[in-house]
Amino acid sequence: MSADDNAFAVVADAWFDGERRHEGPATFLVRDGRIEDIAAGDRSAALADGGLAVRRGGFLMPGLVDAHVHLFLDGGPTDAKERAEHLKQPLDKLVEAARASARQSLECGVTLVRDAGDRHGVNNRIRGEARTPSAGFPRVRSGGLGVKRAKRYGAFMAADVDDPDSIRDSVAALARSNDEIKLILTGIIDFEAGAVTDEPQFTLEEARLIVETARACGRLTFAHCSGRLGLAIAVAAGVGSIEHGFFMDRETLSIMRDGQIAWTPTFSPVHFQWARPEAVGWSPQTVGNLRRILDDHARHLQLAHEMGVTLLLGTDAGSMGVRHGHAVFEEIERFVEAGLSLETALRAATSAARRHFGLASPVLARGGEFDALLLDASPFDDMANLQRPLAVWVAHPGSA
């Protein structure tokens, strides 16, 4: 093989392909953004003799995926007034904020995000900008603008729909620009009551119409949904994935497994409010509710894994205290705390999402896209090793 600007090799002491771990060194030959070969052992000397650039590291794995973010929101500020002011800024400021979120994600090794909605369509714009590699953004899968019921929760991320005609028209129009259709099925949890207290925004017939219209347009759906009533509608309607899904139950999980409905449990925003109750001013009783909700969520995550439900790792980055990129490490910790192996957590944060989204290269394999992180050492030795990628490669649509 000859020296070539579009080719290089990576040698790692061990690696994870997105599904399973591989021990012992391996040499990856990458050309034009694709993995031309994976060979056991360290072949760097021969390749370097051939004039090929070689990167070395302790561990190679697929780029991380955050399956639930809001790029136009900055999760850093925790002051409610400051957060409300952020939303009132002119569009160009929100676009700037989204660019900063995207860059921060990539620096943390997140090479793909699914944006779960913003009312201005900033996410679709960032998706376009991400196609230029010099932007330094992860690949963006965009939920554009979602759909919600008028006067109900979700105005910052969704448009109002009403009767069946408006549902059909809106979903078909949104499907032209969105990669997935987000439906806001329930409000947020009332933490003081320790429950979801509002009625679902859509009936089963309406939710089905959203799902079927999206499907006819070739689009998956993802549902913002927590609480028994909303979950029952979401799974019966056959959404592609349940987002949040607090107050989960075994019956819902079995329908999800059978219907191949994925789950993105997003522990991070609730965990933040439990860990830092003073940011919101929660009483000790509410903090107790938060802990109970998190523990119940962890139990159901473990159950979902045992039952074979597809798990996606998403953080809801942009929510209060949930920082783009960094939150992925914390969400992985939540999965591990819940009793899942790190391998299972990393699968949810890499191959499971790529497979659910229908991407061509869900794992690192010969002939596939090279979308990867090179780490100094294995995260299986110390999870903190994830946080310091030596190199990050993003597979961009259309680049290979």
Taking the complex as a whole, the smallest distance from the CB of residue 328 to Zn ion amounts, in Å, to 15
Residue 243 or residue 369: which is nearer to Zn ion going by CB? 243
Smallest gap, in angstroms, from Cβ of residue 182 to Zn ion? 9
Q: Which residue is nearest to Zn ion (CB)?
A: 116
The least CB distance from residue 116 to Zn ion, in Å, is 4
Query: Rule CB under 5 A: which of 337-396 touch Zn ion?
Result: none
Stretch that binds Zn ion, among 22-30, 109-117, 298-306, 329-337 (CB under 5 A): 109-117
Q: Cβ 72 to Zn ion, closest distance in Å? A: 12
Q: Which is nearer to Zn ion, 19 or 330 (CB)?
A: 330
CA-wise closest residue to 106 among 78, 145, 143, 134: 134
- Cβ-based nearer residue to Zn ion, 75 or 389: 75
Tell me which DSSP letter residue 153 carries.
S
Least distance in Å: CB of 124 to Zn ion? 16
Quick check: 375 and 333 in contact, CB under 8 A? Answer: no
Number of residues engaging Zn ion in binding (CB under 5 A) = 2
CB of 146 to Zn ion, least distance (A): 9
Cβ atoms 19, 1 nearer than 8 A: no
Q: Which is nearer to Zn ion, 116 or 220 (CB)?
A: 116
Q: Choose one: 82-90, 113-121, 191-199, 338-346; the region binding Zn ion (CB under 5 A).
A: 113-121
Q: Which stretch binds Zn ion (CB under 5 A): 85-93, 115-123, 267-275, 362-370?
A: 115-123
Gyration radius of the chain over CA positions? 21
**Any contact of residue 115 with Zn ion (CB under 5 A)?**
no
Q: Which is nearer to Zn ion, 61 or 113 (CB)?
A: 113
Residues of this chain, 269-328, that bind Zn ion according to CB under 5 A: 316
User: Do 80 and 323 touch, CB atoms closer than 8 A?
Assistant: no
Q: What would the x/- binding string for Zn ion be over residues 212 to 251, using CB under 5 A? A: ----------------------------------------
Rounded least distance, CB 215 to Zn ion, Å: 22
Rounded to an integer, what distance in angstroms lies between the CA atom of residue 245 and that of residue 14? 35
Place of tokens 């690949």: 139
Shortest distance in whole angstroms from residue 193 CB to Zn ion:
21
d(CA 65, CA 105): 10
Strands in the chain per DSSP E? 7-16, 21-22, 26-31, 34-40, 53-62, 64-69, 110-115, 139-142, 146-149, 158-161, 180-184, 220-225, 241-244, 262-264, 372-375, 389-393
In 3-state terms, the chain is what percent helix, strand and coil (to 5)? Answer: 40, 25, 40
To Zn ion, the closest distance from the beta carbon of 324 in angstroms equals 13
CB of 52 to Zn ion, least distance (A): 43
Q: How far apart are CA 211 and CA 19, in angstroms?
A: 29
Binding map of Zn ion across residues 68-107, x = CB under 5 A, - = no contact: ----------------------------------------
How many CB atoms are located within 10 Å of the residue 284 CB? 7
Which residue, 70, 79, 60, 63, is CA-closest to 8? Answer: 60
Using the structure block, give the residue that is written with the tokens 């679709």: 124
Q: Which is nearer to Zn ion, 116 or 338 (CB)?
A: 116
Q: Are 118 and 129 in contact (CB under 8 A)?
A: no
Distance CA(245)–CA(226), nearest Å, equals 4
User: What stretch of H or E contains 343?
Assistant: helix 342-348
Nearer to Zn ion, 73 or 374 (CB): 73
Helical segments of 188-275, H only: 204-216, 228-237, 250-259, 268-275
User: Between residues 55 and 86, which has the closer beta carbon with respect to Zn ion?
Assistant: 86
Burial class (CB in 10 A: 0-12, 13-18, 19+), 96: middle
Nearer of residues 14 and 65 to Zn ion, judged by Cβ: 65
Residue from the set 113, 116, 211, 293 that interacts with Zn ion by CB under 5 A? 116
Of 319 and 350, the one with the shorter C-beta distance to Zn ion is 319
Site residues (vs Zn ion, CB under 5 A): 116, 316
